[in-house]
Chain A
Amino acid sequence: MPKYQGLPASPGIAIGQILPYRTPKVTFTEQRVEEPHAEWQRLQQALRKADTQLMALEERARKIAGEEEAAIFEAHRLFLVDEELLARLRTLVLEEHLNAKAAVHHTFEQYAEALLGLEEAYFQARAQDLRDVAQRVMKCLDGIGEETDFEAIAEAVIVVAEELTPSDTIRFDREKIIGIVTVRGGPTSHSAILARAMGVPAVVSAPFDLNDMRGGTLAILNGNNGVFNVGPTLHELEVARKEKEEWEARRRAELRQAEQPAITREGAYRAEVVANIGSVEDAEQALQFGAEGVGLFRTEFLYLERNTMPSLAEQVRAYRRVFEVMGARPVVVRTLDIGGDKEVSYLGMEKEANPFLGWRAIRMIRERPDVLENQFSALLLAAGQVTAEGIPCDLRIMLPMVSSVAEVERAREIYEEAWAALQAEGKPLPERVQFGIMVEVPSAALLADHFAPLVDFFSIGTNDLTQYTLAVDRTNERVSVLASPYHPAVLRLIEMTLRAAHAQGKWVGLCGELAGDPLAVPLLVGLHLDEFSMAPSSIPTIKGLIRQWTLAACEEVAQQCLQFSLAAEVIEYLKGQAPH
C-alpha cells in the first residue's frame, strides 16, 4: 500500500476516508456560432451565475474568515462588470461570431498576459485571480456547478488536493475536515496556514498522483512526520490509532501546562521559550501556546507584493500591533532579510546566480542604508509610542546574515543616527532597546568573541548556518538530505558561539527548526542555550520536554554529541536518550 513522504505542515494524526479535491481545467474549442445573439445571451447568463457564486463566497468568507478573505472575492466580482472587458466580449461574440467559451478565454487571458508583463508580484497574483474567474465563467457556460460539494460531506474526511486556493478552502465545511494533504505547496502555503488555523494535521509536498486517489479510501495522515499512508494495513491502522490517542493525550497535557515555565526537573536551569512569528495573528496564537515572547519577528511581509517602500507610518502601525499584543514580553525583530530569490524591484533586487550567497539582508547596507535607517526609525517610533501610552515594551533589534564585524559597526552607527534624529524631533523613545545579530554564517560563529562586545545577544539561525557550513542548497532536492543541523560541524559552531557569548555575559537564542525539534532538547539545554524560538504550536511540547530533563543529564548528552563525526550518529544517539 502506498506511503508518501511529504513535509509536515500542521501537527497531529488523522485517520479517515480521503476526499480527492479536483479542479478540472475547462477545455474549449474555438468555433464560429450560427446565432451570435443567443450565444451572447448565454454568456450574459453565465456571467450573472458566476457573480452569484462569488457573492455567496464573499458572504461566507466574511462570516467565517474575515474581511481580508472576503475582499478577494469582492475583487473577483469587479472583473465581471468591467466595461472594457464586457465590450471586448461583446465584440468577439456579436461581431466576430466567436463561441462564448473561446471569447471568455481570449479576453481574460489578454488581461492576464498584460498583468504578467508587469512583473511585480502584486500583478502576478491578480493575473492568477483573472484566470480563476475565467475558469469559473467557463464552467458556468458548461453548466458545471462547483465540482466537489463540500456542503454535502456526510463524514469527516481528509482532503487530498494538488493545492488549495482561497476560493477552494472557503467553501469547506470546516467541521467535517480532519486533515489536509497536498501535492504542491510548502509549509507556508495557503493550505498549511489554513490547517494550522483549523488545528487539523496537514502534510504538503507529498509526491502522490491525484488521479490515483479514490474517494472513500481509508488513509492515515501524520502531520508530525509528514507521512501520508493510503490504504494502510490493519496492523498499521492499529499502531496509528494508538499513536493518535497518545499524541492527543500528550497534547492536551502539554496545552494545560503551556503557561508553566521551562525549568529543568531539579530546578537548576530555566530556558526562555518564545515564538517565531510573521504577523500580529501569529503573535496572538503564540500567546495561546504559552510563548514567553517573540524570538524572531520576520518583517519581510511589509516589503513583499508591492512596488514602493512601505511608508514609515505603515511600518509603525504593523510593529505597534505586535508590541501591543506582547506587552512586557521580549520581541526580537529581525530587520529586512530579502535577497535575489525574491522580486522586490524598488529595493534594486536583481536575479542572481546564487541568491543565497548574494546581495541580501544586511549586505544591502552599503548601497541602501536608507532602508535600514527607515526600519530602525519605525521600530523606535513604534516602541516609543507604545511606551508613552503606558504599555511596557521590550524591543530587541536583530540584524540578519552578518558575516563581518564591520557590518555591525556600520549598522550601529545608522541606529545611533536614527535614535538621535528622533530625539531631536522630540519623539517619545523606548527606555532600553537590545541590539543583536543572527549567527547564520560560519564566519560569525567563528568570530563570536569579536562580535560579542558589539551586541547584547546572538540568535543562531540553524537553517542557514547548516546550509552555509555544509555548502548545501536546502531548496535543491537532490542534496537537501545532506542539510542536517545535527551535523557535528554545525553543532561545534553552535557550541563555540554559546561559549564565546557567555564568556562576555551575552545571551544566546536559537530560532531555526532545530529549536522546535523534540530530539534536540537535551542537546541544546546541555549547551546552556538561553532562548528557544520556534513555531507557536511547538512551544507546549518543547516546554514539556525541558521540564522532564535535569541539567546534568543534558550536559552529558551534549558533550557526547560533540564527539561524533556523523550527523546520523548524533541522531541515532539522541533517539536512544530518555529524559532523566
Chain B
Amino acid sequence: MISTIITIDHPAGLHARPAAQFVKTAARFPCKISVRKLNSEKPPANAKSPLSVLTLGVNQGDTVEIIAEGEEAQAALEALVELVKSNFGETTVPQA
C-alpha cells in the first residue's frame, strides 16, 4: 500500500467537474484506490465512486491523502497527482 498527500487548489474543490475527472482517472487503474480528507472524521472514500468522493465534501484548500493498493498502484498515484497539479486540465488564472 502506498499513499501521497496533496492539496486541492481548484476553486470547485473535489466536486462537479473536478470530481468527475478524478473518478474517471482512478477508474482507469485496476488497483484499489481511496481518498481521505485530512483533518476530518470521515472514513476514506472509494476513489472510483463519484458519490463517495462527493460526500467527502473536499473544498478548495483542503488536503487529502490518496491511498492505492495493488496492481499499478504507483502509476495510479502518479496519474492522480498529475491531474490535481494540472488543475484538472483547466487553465484558470489564479485569484487576485
Tell whether, in the assembled complex, residue B54 and residue A309 are in contact, meaning their CB atoms are under 8 Å apart: no
Tell whether, in the assembled complex, residue B50 and residue A313 are in contact, meaning their CB atoms are under 8 Å apart: no
Tell whether, in the assembled complex, residue A314 and residue B11 are in contact, meaning their CB atoms are under 8 Å apart: yes
Judged by a CB distance under 8 angstroms, whether A153 is at the interface is no
Q: Which chain A positions have C-beta within 8 A of B46? A: 83-84
Given contacts A308-B59, A312-B95, A314-B92, contact A126 B54 (CB under 8 A): yes
**How near does chain B come to A80, taking the closest CB pair, in angstroms?**
11
Complex CA–CA separation, A310 to B11 (angstroms): 7
Q: Which chain B positions have C-beta within 8 A of A314? A: 11, 92
Judged by a CB distance under 8 angstroms, whether A78 is at the interface is yes
Judged by a CB distance under 8 angstroms, whether A118 is at the interface is yes
Q: Which residue of B lies closest to A81 (CB)?
A: B50
Tell whether, in the assembled complex, residue A78 and residue B50 are in contact, meaning their CB atoms are under 8 Å apart: yes
Hey, what's the 0/1 contact readout for B40-60 against A, CB within 8 Å counting as 1?
000001101111101101011
Judged by a CB distance under 8 angstroms, whether A111 is at the interface is yes
Tell whether, in the assembled complex, residue B52 and residue A311 are in contact, meaning their CB atoms are under 8 Å apart: no
Complex CA–CA separation, A377 to B95 (angstroms): 11
Hey, what's the 0/1 contact readout for A213-249 against B, CB within 8 Å counting as 1?
0000000000000000000000000000000000000
**How near does chain A come to B95, taking the closest CB pair, in angstroms?**
5
Q: Which stretch (B12-20, B63-71, B72-80) binds chain A? A: B12-20
Complex CA–CA separation, A10 to B45 (angstroms): 46
CB < 8 Å neighbour of B49 from A82, A118, A130, A307: A82
CB < 8 Å neighbour of A82 from B11, B16, B51, B95: B51
Given contacts A78-B20, A123-B57, A306-B12, contact A311 B93 (CB under 8 A): yes
Complex CA–CA separation, A311 to B61 (angstroms): 14
**How near does chain B come to A66, taking the closest CB pair, in angstroms?**
17
Give the A-B pair count, Cβ closer than 8 A. Answer: 63
Given contacts A84-B46, A84-B49, contact A122 B16 (CB under 8 A): yes
Tell whether, in the assembled complex, residue A307 and residue B60 are in contact, meaning their CB atoms are under 8 Å apart: yes
Complex CA–CA separation, A83 to B54 (angstroms): 13
Hey, what's the 0/1 contact readout for A67-81 against B, CB within 8 Å counting as 1?
000000000001100
Q: Which chain B positions have C-beta within 8 A of A306? A: 11-12
Complex CA–CA separation, A82 to B27 (angstroms): 11
Judged by a CB distance under 8 angstroms, whether A114 is at the interface is yes
Name the prevailing secondary structure of the A interface residues.
helix
Q: Which chain B positions have C-beta within 8 A of A322? A: none
Tell whether, in the assembled complex, residue B13 and residue A308 are in contact, meaning their CB atoms are under 8 Å apart: yes
Complex CA–CA separation, A114 to B49 (angstroms): 15
Judged by a CB distance under 8 angstroms, whether A374 is at the interface is yes
Complex CA–CA separation, A311 to B59 (angstroms): 14
Given contacts A118-B57, A308-B59, A374-B96, contact A84 B13 (CB under 8 A): no
Tell whether, in the assembled complex, residue B49 and residue A83 are in contact, meaning their CB atoms are under 8 Å apart: yes
Q: Which residue of B lies closest to A122 (CB)?
A: B15
Q: Which chain B positions have C-beta within 8 A of A79? A: 50-51
Q: Which chain A positions have C-beta within 8 A of B13? A: 307-308
Q: Which residue of A lies closest to B95 (CB)?
A: A311
Tell whether, in the assembled complex, residue B92 and residue A85 are in contact, meaning their CB atoms are under 8 Å apart: no
Residue from the set A114, A115, A307 with the largest chain B CB neighbour count within 10 Å: A307
Given contacts A84-B49, A307-B13, A307-B59, contact A313 B54 (CB under 8 A): no
Interface pairs A-B: 4 shortest CB-CB: A84-B49, A313-B93, A114-B55, A308-B60
Beyond A78-B50, A82-B52, A313-B92, list 4 extra A-B contacts (CB 8 Å): A78-B20, A123-B54, A314-B92, A374-B95
What residues of chain A have their CB less than 8 Å away from a CB belonging to chain B?
Answer: 78-79, 82-85, 111, 114-115, 118, 122-123, 126, 130, 306-314, 374, 377
What would 16 A/B residue contacts be, using CB atoms closer than 8 Å? A82-B50, A82-B51, A83-B46, A84-B45, A85-B49, A111-B51, A111-B55, A122-B16, A130-B51, A306-B11, A307-B13, A307-B60, A308-B12, A308-B59, A312-B95, A374-B96
What residues of chain B have their CB less than 8 Å away from a CB belonging to chain A?
Answer: 11-13, 15-16, 20, 45-46, 48-52, 54-55, 57, 59-61, 92-96
